[in-house]
Amino acid sequence: MQKLKIRGGKPLRGDVRISGAKNAALPILCASLLTAETLTLRNVPQLNDIGTMLKLLAQMGVTAQRDGETLALNAGSLDNPVAPYDLVKTMRASILALGPLLTRLGEAKVSLPGGCAIGARPVDLHIKGLEAMGATIRIEAGYIHATAKRLKGARIFMDTVTVTGTENLMMAAVLADGRTLLENAAREPEVVDLADCLIKMGARIQGHGSDTITIEGVATLHGAAHAIMPDRIETGTFLAAVTATGGDIRLLNTQPGTLDAVIEKLRDAGATIASSADQISIAMHKRPLSINVRTAPYPAFPTDMQAQFIALNTIASGTAVVTETIFENRFMHVQELVRLGARIDIEGNTAIVHGVDKLTGAAVMATDLRASACLVIAGLVAEGETLIDRIYHLDRGYDHIEKKLVALGADIERCN
């Protein structure tokens, strides 16, 4: 199994180009199921999760042509509305095929995603919303079986803000009969990117980016071309890394406006940050100050940046309080950081991080995608050598991160 070997202590310098966003690309790939015409996507990241989604779509009958970061998808011969357990168990975002299949073909059989390292993560709100639109749904042998002649517009209040739930129901509603209102909807930029793509395909959507989205159903959608938005979590990960290691970097092909909460916290830590339309420059030449963080739905501080900020706080001056309000089990990285010499106490959904003067390299293990990014940042800071195991987690959501870090002067390599 591949590992990452990092020799820490070097500042990061230079330019890094940000890739397309995983969490925008995954629902947008599923949007191809909504039309018989070709959807052409640019800025598609090179990630294992994208590969898994393409496998899932291919076995449904979707054809795909890839040329670097450009992907042409066609669901004209869609004939198998099934998302099998073997694929869904490797990537719970496969649930995003449910809404599009049901609204396009009137039937869908999608495996329930099952448990996850960071929390229970049920999909009850996805199912409840589809039932409100008139779908008949039964759960049998671990599968969601859904049927509907044609979904009907409905008013749907989601009592918890859910990103993929909002995306699934929005995709189901675009071909439904009548108007759908999604209330307490997710406001994440990835939801907006999906809506922008659907509108280019002929969908009628308003209010995306707010907590109330209105969709007027149409009979059919057509083909379109769309560029996937830059990855704000990849951007945030590099910004947190340089704030921890010190240095000066420039992030290209990014979208600063999607990271206000993160940038504000890094400025509080002492970083100097300047941004323009699609670039961010950051400089850090002193020990960071500890920063308190509380995760919540967008536009508040993203849970997908929590682990990286815990890594940053391990060597900051002072004590930080980090509260996780979205997922009930998202501190798996803490005990690995303690192996590097960090001092962190956990009390319920709060981590109290006591900044130490230095971390020392050791062998550690990644447990999920963002936990692995956290360990990379800690390894870049730690004295000596850090060896990170189970980096397949990292490859699911970061496009060649070690190549990008080497270009910024880091001493990092993949090894067996």
Site residues (CB under 6 A) for ligand EPZ?
23, 26, 93, 119-126, 160, 162-165, 303-304, 326-327, 369-370, 397
Q: How far is the CB of 49 from ligand EPZ (least distance, A)?
A: 8
As measured in angstroms, the least distance from the Cβ of 52 to ligand EPZ is 12
132 burial (CB, 10 Å; 0-12 / 13-18 / 19+) is middle
For ligand EPZ, give the closer residue by CB, 18 or 93: 93
116 is catalytic: yes
Of the two residues 284 and 374, which places its CB atom closer to ligand EPZ in the complex?
A: 374
Minimum separation from the CB atom of position 189 to ligand EPZ (A)? 11
In the bound complex, what is the minimum distance in angstroms from residue 328's beta carbon to ligand EPZ?
Answer: 7
Distance separating alpha carbons of residues 169 and 11, to the nearest angstrom: 45
Closer to ligand EPZ by CB, 290 or 367: give it. Answer: 367
- Burial class for 258, CB neighbours closer than 10 Å (0-12, 13-18, 19+): buried
Q: What is residue 4's DSSP assignment?
A: E
Q: Which stretches of 140-212 are DSSP H helices?
A: 163-173, 189-200
At 190, give phi and psi (nearest 5°).
-70, -30
* Secondary element (H or E) of residue 328: none
Residue placing its CB nearer to ligand EPZ in the complex, 44 or 284: 44
At position 329, the amino acid (one-letter code) is: N
Q: Which of 116, 197, 374, 415 is catalytic?
A: 116
Strands 143-147 and 82-83: unpaired
- Supply the angle between the helices 232-245 and 260-268 in degrees, to the nearest 10: 10
Report, in Å, the least distance between residue 147 CB and ligand EPZ.
20
CA within 13 Å, CB half, 308: 27
Q: Quick one: 1 or 120, whose CB is closer to ligand EPZ?
A: 120
Rounded Cα gap, residues 172 and 195, in angstroms: 12
Element (H, E) at 312: helix 306-314
Q: Which residues are catalytic?
A: 116
